[in-house]
Structure 1
Amino acid sequence: MASGNPQLNRYYLGRWYASYRFLISFSLLLIASVGHYSNTLAVSYAQSHLFILFLYFICSTAQWLMLRYSHVAASYQLLALFIVDIAILTSLIFIGDGTNLQISLMFVMTIFTASLLLEKHKALSVTLVAVICVVYQHFIGSLFATSHSLNNISNSALLAVLFFCVYALGQFAIRRFEVLENVNLTQAQQIRRLQDISSYILDQIESGYLVLDENYHVILTTPAACDFLGISPIHAYEKQPLYSVQPELFDVLHLERLIEGEKFQFEAKQSLYQLHVRIQKLRIPNQTLTLLVLEDARTINQRVQQLKLASLGQLSASIAHEIRNPLAAIVQANELMRDSDLDQQTMLNNLIAKQANRIDRIVKDTLNMVRNRETKSSVIRLEKFIPLCLEEDFSHARDQINSVIEQEAAIYFDEDQLRQILINLLRNGLHHNQSSPHKIELHVYTQHNHVRIEVRDFGAGVASADIASLFQPFFSTEINGTGLGLYLSHSFCEANQAKLYYVEQQQGACFRIECLRVNFA
Structure 2
Amino acid sequence: MNAPAAALPRPPSPGYFASHWRSLDYFNLYRLTLAVALVFSGLLFGGSDLFRAGEGERFQGYAYTYLVIAALFVLGIRARWPGFQIQLTAHIATDIVVVMLLMTTSSQLAGGMGLLLAISVASGGLVGSGRLTLLYAAMASIAVLLQHGFSILGGREVADSFFQVGLLCAGYFAIGLLAHALTQRALRSERLAQQQSDELALLNRINALAIENSPDGLLAVRGDGVVRHASPRALALLGVTTPVVPGTTRLADCAPDLARLAEQVRPGTEASLTAPAAQLRVRCIPLATPDDSRVLVLEDQTQAAQAAQRLKLAALGRLTANIAHEIRNPLSAISHAAQLLREEAHDPAGTRLAGIIENNARRLDRLVEEVLTLNRRDRLNPATFDAAALAGLVDELRQAEEIPADAVIVSMPDTLRFQFDPDHLRQIVWNLMRNAWRYSRKQPGSLHVSAQTSGDTVQIDLADDGPGLAAEHLGKLFEPFFTTDAQGTGLGLFLARELAEANRARLAYVPGTGGARFRLSLGGSD
Q: TM-score, normalised by structure 2?
A: 0.49
Q: TM-score, normalised by structure 1?
A: 0.50
